[in-house]
Amino acid sequence: MSRELALLGLAEAAALVRNRQVSPVELTDAVLAQADRWEPHIRSLLLRMDEQARAAASAAEREIAGGGYRGALHGIPVTIKDVMDVAGVPTTVASSILADNVAAANCVAVQRLVDAGAVIAGKANTHQFTWGGDTPPTRNPWDVERIPGGSSGGSGAGMAACIGFGSLGSDTAASVRSPAAYNGVVGLKTTYGRIPKSGFFPLAWSMDSVGPLARRVEDVALLLDTISGFAASDPSSLSAPLAPALPGLRDGVKGLRIGVPEDFFWHPIQDEVDAPLRRALDVLRDAGADVRPITIAGGEHLPLSVAVSFVLVIVESAAWHRSWLTEQPEGYAPDVYEYISWAKRIPATDFVDAQRVRRLITDVVDSAFSEVDLLAVPAQCQVAARVDTPLITFGDGTTEHRDPAGIRNLAIFNLTGHPGVSVPVGRGAVSGMPVGLQLVGRRGDDATTLRAAQVIEDALGTLGEPPLPG
């Protein structure tokens, strides 16, 4: 029974708790049992919080029994990427430099979960200082010889292994949507500023977004609605209220105009990724959406987005890390140290030029939404790479390093601030690894991206728990 409980969706588990059919303690024990099963193989958690989680679950059980039910997250175990403060435990961002950095209080997003009654079960692993795309030592539950994506790889792998009913990640260039696509779960990069970042360790402040991951679209919508909203402690958070995602989640896509920009986003691509993505487009078409190929005016500038993203992230990150790079260089993983150190070789003029091109790319993407309501593009044009394979090979025979390949279709929307959700559309026929479609909406319209994702999920289903290795 324990494993069956862990495999439920968040909303399903919440209904059982609300009706007193299952207790928060039972749910928490089921999640911790999943961690016992999977963590030796995937190492998705930097910190297990078993004792605190069981205490919080017991408190939730007592409160609910006393008539104090708070809502759908009450008594529900979740995990938090280790870039966000959880009171009483370290926020290390996977670095020894911050080993003793014990948070005095919850970050805003976590506090909103706690206020809703959620149970924090652990801190999910991240690529050190949220750099990189493979999140060592975490592995992909679908094939433990493959990467889980990054930098929210612990959240993505943990959700695939049913270690919690939801997870909070962060996304600066790909870091929620890449693990979602590679691990076969749902991940939303929110509109920039929709969720406050107070109590959050930054990578590049002008591009960072908090985003939820879960196994089902409804669960991501529920998490989004719980943690969204302005906070005075974060001036970048949006003060204007945005439409919640849950109320219209199942309104369908009839009449929605969905653009498929082929030129930049779909080539090169692995053949086994292309086929399930095309089937997902057919699902949207069959549901009444106007799915059409489009050519984005000014689209010739979009390939610059990867280089622009690297310049901006490197410089903003280096500004934050400048003292540690000098005083504690040994605390950095070699790849992270190399990335951040590149800032020394980036002239100020290049940084200014990158900002100008960012504005141009933003205008180009905005122009696409004058004729469509959503864009549909591959979340990744490749399945998750093997841990020991740095190069991706595409169907046309071209190769690319997995780090720039992993952000090619994703980082652009961090530059522009648009919301994008990766939803599973099946598994590649050759490797059997998950494939994800990214749906991108107008800034502030996260709800429509999730509405279209729900149509795909309803038609294609979820991927379920992977087989346990061995």
**Do 386 and 144 touch, CB atoms closer than 8 A?**
no
- Tens-of-pLDDT digits for all 470 residues of the chain? 689 999 999 999 999 999 999 999 999 999 999 999 999 999 999 999 999 999 999 999 999 999 999 999 999 999 999 999 999 999 999 999 999 999 999 999 999 999 999 999 999 999 999 999 999 999 999 999 999 999 999 999 999 999 999 999 999 999 999 999 999 999 999 999 999 999 999 999 999 999 999 999 999 999 999 999 999 999 999 999 999 999 999 999 999 999 999 989 999 999 999 999 999 999 999 999 999 999 999 999 999 999 999 999 999 999 999 999 999 999 999 999 999 999 999 999 999 999 999 999 999 999 999 999 999 999 999 999 999 999 999 999 999 999 999 999 999 999 999 999 999 999 999 999 999 999 999 999 999 999 999 999 999 999 999 999 98
In 3-state terms the chain splits into helix, strand, coil percentages (rounded to 5) of 45, 15, 40
Please give the Cα distance from 76 to 8 (Å, whole number): 11
In 328-410, where does DSSP find H-type helix? Answer: 334-341, 348-368, 402-407
Query: b or e along 68-103 (b: 16 or more beta carbons within 10 Å of the residue's beta carbon)?
Result: ebeebbbbbbbbbbbbbbbbebbbbbbbebbeeeeb
Task: Classify the C-alpha dihedral 99-100-102-108 as positive or negative.
Answer: negative
One-character DSSP codes across 221-248:
HHHHHHH-S--TT-TTS--S----SSTT
**Do 295 and 265 touch, CB atoms closer than 8 A?**
no
Task: Classify the C-alpha dihedral 234-236-241-244 as positive or negative.
Answer: negative
Please give the Cα distance from 265 to 257 (Å, whole number): 18
**Do 441 and 433 touch, CB atoms closer than 8 A?**
no
Active site residues: 81, 151, 175
In angstroms, the Cα distances linking 82 to 118, 403, 455 are 17, 21, 32
Q: Is there a cis peptide before residue 212, judged by omega within 30 degrees of 0?
A: no
**Do 121 and 78 touch, CB atoms closer than 8 A?**
yes
Residue 347 CA, distance from chain mean position:
32
Q: Secondary structure of 104-166 in the HEC alphabet?
A: CCCCHHHHHHHHCCCEEEEEECCCHHHCCCCCCCCCECCECCECCCCCCHHHHHHHHCCCCCC
**Domains, the chain, ordered by start:** 2-227 (3.90.1300.10), 257-460 (3.90.1300.10)
pLDDT tens digits along 172-209: 999 999 999 999 999 999 999 999 999 999 999 999 99
Structure tokens given for 36: 């016992």
Query: b or e along 146-158 (b: 16 or more beta carbons within 10 Å of the residue's beta carbon)?
Result: bbbbbbbbbbbbb
pLDDT tens digits along 58-104: 999 999 999 999 999 999 999 999 999 999 999 999 999 999 999 99
Pairing of strands 290-294, 391-393: unpaired
pLDDT tens digits along 429-448: 999 999 999 999 999 999 99
Sole residue written with tokens 């609300």: 18
**Do 184 and 290 touch, CB atoms closer than 8 A?**
no
